Chains A and B, each alone.
Chain A
Amino acid sequence: MTTRTAPAPALVWVRRHLFRSFWDGLMTVVFGGLGLYILFRLARFVFVTARWEIISTNLKLLMVGRWPDIHLPRISVTLVVLAALGGLVAGLIHARQVRAGTSAVEGMPLPARASDLGRRFGLLIGAVLLLLALTTTVGTWLTAAGFVVAGVVGRLAGARIGRDRLSRPVIILLTLVFIGVPAGMYLYLVDAVPLADWEGFFFNVSAAAAGIVLSFPLGVLLALGRRSRLPLLKTVSTVYIEVVRGAPLYVLLLLANVSLEFFVPASFSPSKPIRAIVTFTLFTAAYLAEIVRGGLQSVPRGQEEAAKALGLSPVKQMGLIILPQALRNVIPAQIGQFIALFKDTTLAGLGLGILELLGAAEAITQQPDFRGQGLIIESLAFVAFMFWVGSFTMSRESQRLERKLGVGTR
């Protein structure tokens, strides 16, 4: 009697996933070859042929533009303070989840938590370490260390504050902190360098953040207007949303570049970054409005009816019952909109001539030391890497949040 020996598991896997049939095998060979070739070219470019000195020489220009050296510590301080604030938010959310019993990490051993964090933010940390390795000054390392310490302190403080139900004074205090501290940091920065001179990657990040924050109230109002039963309000909101969504952002930026000063009194001449941020805000508000409208539609009717039955006024029905649930449901979509805006900030370079990351990256290839050497590929690779790491990390976090909120499954 012959005994058939089972093939090794690895062999089974190869059969099943690479050579199921003749055509499957052919595809494996063709695309495997293509993939290996791309990988080889990429590795050779990154480690052998690329001349990265154009990046390391111009790192400051790419990151913060022509920000005066003497005021660089202000950016460091801002980053550290924002890290503390971010840590505080993370701690408060964590504490709330612990109270609600929905925390995924509570009770996990420390190494497992560390590896969870590593999986989520490893890329970001790697990118920061790479940037630090390219720098030549101590300040950046100090900033990074301060950032980490402040983040950890904020996280612990947030978890401690949020351990019990927050009392009303604490909530008011926290609200003031979350509004006041970023505003204060903004004043601290523009005190040294006016907004008109914000450049480099710093501009991309700030403009995207400002755009999304400022467009939020307008977007919510437009969404409410479009859903309103009042015909005039509905018409105004709908026309605004549809017109803006039908227009390309780039053309709006060009229009803002030549025309914004015509629409405001002559004494007030907005600088280029302000034009960019105003355009981003007005543009993003229309998209946010549609997102929020989707969120409002996802709240079951019973919620509104229950609120009515409790005798809440229309404003309270909306503000306390419907809107919170609607906004919670659309957090992932809002992050998606933020990512889109973050990527679109590059248009400000082309449209308004702001020296943001992409503009700076093109400009440095024209420096006397690097001109005519075809270094645009190195330059673009750096820009692409920066945007990719940011967008990819955010989109993965938003997917994680989506699973956690259970959108569509509840």
Chain B
Amino acid sequence: MTTVEAPQRPPFWRDVRVLSWAFQLVVFALVAFFIYWLVGNYQTNAERVGISTNFDFLDQPASFEIPGSEFSQTQPVRDAYVEGILNTIRISVVGIVLATVLGTLIGIGRLSRNWVVSRLATVYVEVVRNLPLLVIMVFTFLGLVLQVLPTIQEAWTPGGIMVFSNRGIAVPWYEGNSGTVLFLLFLVGAVGWWALARWRQGVAARTGAPSRAGLIGGGFFVAVMVIGWFALGFSVTTPVVEGRLSVGGIRLDPSYFAVLVALVVYTASHIAEIVRGSIQAVPKGQGEAASALALSGFQRMWFIVLPQAMRIAIPPLGNQYLNLIKNSSLGAGFAYFELTQVTQITVGNGSPAIPAFTLALAFYVVLSLITSAAVNIANRRFALVQR
């Protein structure tokens, strides 16, 4: 009778577990040594040149001003960073909304049966997508804003409510109460809209009655905004030209305008391609079924095809949003005071470069992580539930 030998472990130099850990430790040691080498060099060199390696500069006075804000020179660098981040968020949010709208329209346009529309959309996408963003931005800044827009003396005032000049674009704005109150009002309206829409959709699902979610929710939103507007003493000012200035309304800085237009135009061309691909990925039968139910062309697109296409489009759209946020750093080249520009100026004023830029990088990474987390949540929320 043969005896079953106990499984022997191989010698350690052929044991996979030992080998894999040894390999990892070697790699880790190499990486650690490399980082150690970099940090060592950095400390030696910083000491030699005599620059600081800590973050004390954040408490120093900034000694520069940020146009379009109440930031004063005596405030610490810390506050300048906050202003920069707010400006980055400001241009990113507006840019993302506009680029999504424009890109979706162009993406749908590319698939239009109308020859002129589809040709025009195709040319737009193929031209803009293959240009460097920086070239577009230089064009919107040096070409569009500084050359095409007139001087303040000859400003265009379409309808008497806006002022276009090379000193910026002034549009009507609210006055009479604080922005926070307006934002809260907006929030109340939006939450009410959402809650009413959910309720109506529930009713529609239970009873089959028409949901009219948009009508009722939107009506509530408009009512809240209008009533709140007058009750809280808001009013509108329109800009007018007075001498060499535009007075009233709110003035968008020329650099804000140029950077925003370039970001929107460029990102929209990429979004258009995503939307087109997603619409084409929706099974053809969906559109045909909608036609068979006698839905109009608009209804077919809005209620049937686009919602399904957007489900496919969310992950790549999220990538474009991340790109837009990161690309807003180019605004630093055009005197728009976002995070990068603030960092560059504070470094120019004598803040230590490496901590300052590292801080900016960390903010961008955090901003990116937040955005991609939001996109992931949206994706999970809208993903098709597979059975």
A-to-B contact residues, CB < 8 Å: 16-18, 20, 24, 27-28, 31-32, 34-35, 229-233, 236, 242-243, 245-252, 254-255, 258-259, 261-266, 339, 343-344, 346-347, 349-350, 358, 362, 374, 376-377, 380, 383-384, 387-388, 391-392, 395
Contact = CB atoms under 8 A, between A and B. Distances in A.
Determine chain A's interface SS by DSSP, over half rule: helix
A236 B28 contact: yes
A245 B371 CA distance: 13
B344 A384 contact: no
Contact of B116 (A32, A251, A374): A32
B353 A387 contact: no
Contacts of A346: 132, 134-135
Contacts of A255: 353-354, 357-358, 361
5 contacts: A231-B24, A252-B361, A254-B343, A358-B134, A387-B135
Nearest to A33: B116
B369 interface: yes
B41 A245 contact: no
B116 A392 contact: no
B135 A383 contact: yes
Interface string B97-134: 00000000000000001111101100000110111111
B187 to A, nearest CB: 29
B333 interface: yes
A250 B329 contact: yes
Given A17-B113, A27-B114, A384-B131, A250 B361 contact: no
Interface stretch (B139-147, B197-205, B219-227): B139-147
Given A255-B354, A265-B41, A247 B147 contact: no
Interface bin, chain B: 35 or more
A248 B38 CA distance: 22
Contact of B361 (A245, A251, A350, A358): A251
A18 B23 contact: no
Given A17-B115, A236-B27, A247-B361, A230 B134 contact: no
B46 interface: yes
B181 interface: no
B41 A247 contact: no
A254 B129 CA distance: 25
A213 B41 CA distance: 28
B337 interface: no
B270 to A, nearest CB: 11
A263 B27 contact: no
Contacts of A18: 114-116
A248 B326 contact: yes
A262 B354 CA distance: 9
A252 B119 CA distance: 38
B28 A35 contact: no
Contacts of A343: 130-133
B332 interface: yes
A269 B161 CA distance: 56
Most buried by B among A24, A242, A248, A392: A248
Contacts of A16: 113
5 smallest CB-CB distances across A and B, nearest first, come from A246-B368, A391-B130, A246-B365, A248-B326, A343-B132
B219 to A, nearest CB: 27
Most buried by A among B126, B132, B142, B340: B132
A263 B41 contact: yes
Given A20-B113, A247-B364, A252-B361, 16 more contacts: A18-B115, A32-B116, A236-B27, A236-B31, A242-B369, A247-B365, A251-B360, A258-B347, A259-B353, A262-B42, A347-B330, A374-B147, A380-B143, A384-B139, A391-B130, A395-B129
A18 B117 CA distance: 9
Most buried by B among A246, A261, A339: A246
Contacts of B143: 376-377, 380
A3 to B, nearest CB: 30
B20 interface: yes
A248 B357 CA distance: 11
A377 B41 CA distance: 46
B286 interface: no
A250 B340 contact: yes
Contact of B332 (A245, A249, A250, A252): A250
Nearest to B368: A246
B361 A31 contact: no
A383 B31 CA distance: 41
Given A248-B340, A258-B353, A362-B138, A266 B48 contact: yes
Nearest to B358: A255
A266 B48 CA distance: 9
A35 to B, nearest CB: 5
A387 B129 CA distance: 11
A362 B334 CA distance: 14
B135 A358 contact: yes
B160 to A, nearest CB: 25
A380 B135 contact: yes
B60 interface: no
A262 B361 contact: no
Contact of B354 (A34, A259, A362): A259
A235 to B, nearest CB: 9
A232 B28 contact: yes
A294 B38 CA distance: 31
Nearest to A35: B120
A255 B353 CA distance: 8
Given A230-B23, A236-B31, A254 B130 contact: no
Nearest to B128: A388
A392 B126 contact: yes
Contacts of B142: 362, 376, 380
Contacts of B44: 266
B107 to A, nearest CB: 15
B147 A28 contact: no
A266 B131 contact: no
A349 B129 CA distance: 20
Nearest to B332: A250
B45 interface: yes
Given A32-B116, A388-B127, A350 B340 contact: no
B357 A251 contact: yes
B157 interface: no
Contacts of A374: 147
B327 interface: yes
A388 B28 CA distance: 43
A194 B347 CA distance: 30
B38 to A, nearest CB: 5
B119 A35 contact: yes
Contacts of B369: 242, 246
A35 B135 contact: no
Contacts of A252: 361
Interface in B234-289: none
B45 A261 contact: yes
A322 B358 CA distance: 38
Interface in B31-78: 31, 38, 41-42, 44-46, 48
